[in-house]
Amino acid sequence: MTSWTRLHARLWEATSRRLGRVPVVAGNVSTTGMFDEKSELVLDEQVVSVENALTVKTSELGHLRYGDAITVDSVAYRVRREPMRMADGLLCVMSLERALPSLDIGVFEAGVFQPGVFA
């Protein structure tokens, strides 16, 4: 490990401890990251777009792709923009969007609603 990489690793530890780490789970990988929710676009006093950024170690979650499922602090998200490496590549930042809950509403067939039954 080069001296720059060691320094970067120490900065990651110090910064993430100070700003607060959140638990992150993607597939069978459990780690921690720094989550930042920023409002991007406001029209007529309404938030139109919210950018959720997650910073993690590239070695742990740098393999994620668009649409992959990820859980941040017990909230389900999907990868909106693939991870971008920062500086020397030790860390990466990715854009996330909230995952929509699946709807289990059943099937309406022949005038009879059957909850939980799928066509």
CATH number at residue 66: 2.40.10
- The predicted model scores a pTM of 0.64
Q: What is the pLDDT of residues 103-115, one digit of tens each?
A: 555 555 555 555 5
Q: What's the number of CA atoms in the CB half-sphere (13 Å) around residue 62?
A: 11
Calpha distance 6→80 (Å, rounded): 30
Task: Provide the pLDDT for residue 14.
Answer: 66
Asked if the structure places residue 105 within a domain, the reply is yes
Calpha distance 16→85 (Å, rounded): 17
Residue-number span of the structural domain to which 66 is assigned: 3-114
Asked if the structure places residue 51 within a domain, the reply is yes
Number of domains observed in the structure of the chain: 1
| Lowest-pLDDT choice from 24-28, 31-35, 45-49, 107-111 | 107-111
Local confidence band at 40 (pLDDT 50, 70, 90 cut-offs): low
